[in-house]
Amino acid sequence: MASTSTSSVQKSFKYDVFISFRGEDTRNTFVGHLYNALEQKGIETYIDDKKIRKGKTISDELIEAIEDSRFYIIVFSKKYASSSWCLEELVKIMECQKMPEHTAYPVFYDVEPTEVRKLYGPVGEAFKKHENDESAGKWRQALKEAASLAGWELKTTAAGHEANFIHKIIQDISLELRFIDSSVDGNLVGMETRVDEIISSLEMGVDDVRMIGIKGMGGAGKTTLARAVFDKLSFQFEGQSFVENIREKSSLSGLDPLQKQVLSDVLNDQGITVSGVHEGKKMIKKKMCIRKVLIVLDDVDKIEQLEALVGDRDWFKPGSGIIITTREEQVLVAHEVNLIRDVHLLDDKEAICLFSRHAFRREIPIERYKELSKQVVRYAAGLPLTIRVLGSFLHGKDDREWEDAIDRLKTIPLRETIEKLELSYDDLEEDYKEIFLDVACMFKGWWKENAIRALESCGFSARIGLRVLELKSLITISGGIGKLGMHDHIEEMGKNIVRRVNPNKPEMHSRLWIKEEIKDVLANNSGTQATQCITLDDARGLDYEILMNGLANMKELRFLQLYTPPWVSEDEVSKWKFDEDSLPLPNALRFLRWTGYPLSSLPKTFKPNHLVALEMNISSIFQLWKDGEEKPFLKLRFLAFTYSDYLRTLDLSAAPNLETLILDYCDNLVEVHFKVTPNLKELTIYDCERLEKLHLPAESPKLRSLHFYNLKLRTLHLGVTPNLETLRVRDCANLVELQIPAECRKLINLNLNNCVKVAELPEEIGWLECLKKLDITGTCISHLPESIFRMKGTKSGSPVYFGRVMILEQLRRPKEVTALRTFLTGGAPVVLVVLASASGPSWSLVSASRLKSKYKEICTRNQVCYTSFILLNQGIRSYFTANNLRQNLKPGTTEEANISIDITSSSMLGVKMV
């Protein structure tokens, strides 16, 4: 097991095993076979191959070999004790054996342990010639001590079968080496759990070929993890090979030398030649299928490497294991490696431990360096490579040198880490490099869809580009659809790539994100065509005229994100000394997001010929163009105004290719005009409390979703919208009329929540064959149109959701409704339990006092997947509230995790209270 000492240093040995033997007895038989078996297992073994030894004193070379070996195998044979050379060798071995890092094992080949200890039988006969020798005493003692050690006896092991006997010795030695090797590198931290996870995934003993990929960013410890697994498992296989740095080696020398290494390692034959990649494939397939092997391919970056080295699974004997480390997940996917494990970075505790071992040669920091160590570890962000490099660099340095080094890291990244990480960047296609730099400099932390919109606005294939970066371990996407993440050092690497082009001239950088640099460039009007992107989260203190004029020289600026103080007062506007119509915006802009835009319209000089996305948040904009001018937005696909209180009307006739429109919290907006928007896909208008007129186009063939909330609309007439899937009109208190054409066959979700004046649903609703959810909570709808029961949901017997109640076909039968009304007359607290289960929909009336027990009984009988509790009268409130109803109704069944509970009142059924 690994040592837990804080200061011990493991001694490294040249040889794993030293074999002591009598040549004329066993050289060409047992010892020869044992040596070959050890070498085939990759166990470095010393054997004295000199057939004739002269004199009594062993050579310096032999003494050095003994001292530089970890284990000793002493092969006692009948004539072993006749050789003074062997006996001197044994004395030296027993001397080293007394040190904890050495271990000796006797092998009793054709003699018994007692014969060696007591010197009788053939061993005693062989030793007689030394009785008068002055060294006889120490030789006799060495023989006695050696024969008393635990070892192997041929006669009692493996039934005397020599091949099995050798196999047993190899197995035991390999096991010892495995435990020692797992602790040789005292600087491995946090590996035990990670190694066990990989071994568990390999499922040793399963009778098939297991391929597992270990992926992660550069410097994360993939190779270290794979090596630890290899060292722990290799003894269990008939052949092993660990091929390192495949990316680098294959680019320099091709793949056939790597094929030769695999064959040479597994077959233990350095004389193998490979004449070409195709020939190498045939050789590997032929040789690997007859032996169980463990192969590690480290730092793979191309599918061709896997095809040449491990091909198909049928190349290998069942029980073999293949481990592949890579930054490129797509390589694993392409090779159909189904087991893919991410390498986890170190947590804070592990990072401190690893850093301390390198910086202080102990487990924890020296007290006075404790806070400085935390700063270093915080910078490293769990990356083992950075931790090791910084720990080794800071070892032996004084306090001031530590502080200088930490200060330097704030502006100059660690070279060793950056060089390692840049390998992944260098492999990217040019357009993916641009996407990566945009993410590193601007989009880290953005929602994925927002980043895609911005990148697509700039002409990139963003969706596939982000996926490529994710597969190459350069970015992460939380939950697959969430925020873009990036390790601090990868972000640092990306920004360093941008900065090192004219490092002292930010105006020549392609991207600007550092506030002070941006303000200097704008204030000095030193912008150039080199700048493509600017993101400035705080432009306070920067004069608007200076800001706008500073942008003028950035002719190739495609992305601009600014935050300026919102809601400029009229008094401040009156003090402006510039004509806002003449202020420039770069015409190359494709994406413009300006929070706090101070002007009442877009500048007259701006030509939005390339603009794809426009976002104005908390802006002072009154209209897009002044004086009725209508410049076309021919490429505009995304438009959003939020908290733009001055905006009164919006005419979108100049944006024929608009796909998404978002209007949120524009308090004074009263009218929106659409003329021709054939590409419109999403329309969202929230909390525009004065919006009365919404002139939707006659046809919106691509429209998929409409979201309206708290508007002043009185009528809503949808045009031809054959692809509409979601229509949410909530809290529109003035809405009295809704027209849904029968062509809306794809509508899935219709929500009219709290549209209090809506009294009926259009008869056409029955033609909405895809409708699954209808929320009419808070409306004054008292009955449903007959056509609703033509819907597929009711015909198939599956539940269709209306509001928070699940209406089933049974509930429309007159006798059931009559019975329900009769039951309510008594005024007892009653709950209607409506169920959807594997056996079909059903409903029950349950008194509140028996609800808990009755519900458990129902769930025991049915595989319940949805439950609606309909509170039929006010008396129920004395028994349950909405919250504790959920808490108290725990059925305790295996299906409990799938149960969804809805609670509402009887008014949703159209059942009038008595």
User: Given the structure tokens 């409903």, which residue do they identify?
Assistant: 843
Residue 353's CB: how many other CB atoms inside 10 A? 19
d(CA 174, CA 277) in angstroms, rounded, equals: 33
Q: Give burial (CB, 10 Å; 0-12/13-18/19+) of 351.
A: buried
- Residue recorded with tokens 């050890």: 38
Per DSSP, 483 falls in state: B
> Cα separation of 139 and 365, whole Å?
50
Q: Is 869 helix (H, G, I), strand (E, B) or coil?
A: strand
CA distances from 157 to 109, 173, 235, 672 (A): 11, 15, 20, 93
Q: Is 18 in contact with 89 (CB distance < 8 Å)?
A: no
Q: CB–CB of 188/224 below 8 Å?
A: yes
d(CA 292, CA 641) in angstroms, rounded, equals 65
Sign of torsion, CA 245 249 255 258? negative
Taking the C-alpha atoms of residue 650 and residue 637, their distance in angstroms, rounded to an integer, is 16
3-state secondary structure of 906: helix
Rg (CA), the chain: 39
Instruction: Please say whether the beta carbons of 432 and 469 come within 8 A.
Output: yes
**Among 64, 88, 89, 516, the one annotated catalytic:** 89
| Strand partners of residue 212 | 323, 339
Residues 6+ apart with CB under 8 A from 829: 847, 848, 849, 873, 875, 876, 878, 879
89 is catalytic: yes
Rounded CA-CA distance 752/713 in Å is 13
| 465-495 burial: b if 16+ Cβ within 10 Å, else e | bbebbbbbbbbbbeeeeebbebbbbbbbbbb
Tokens of 79: 């004539």
Q: CB of 880 within 8 A of CB of 829?
A: no
| Residues forming a β-bridge with 683 | 661, 706
- Catalytically active residues are 89
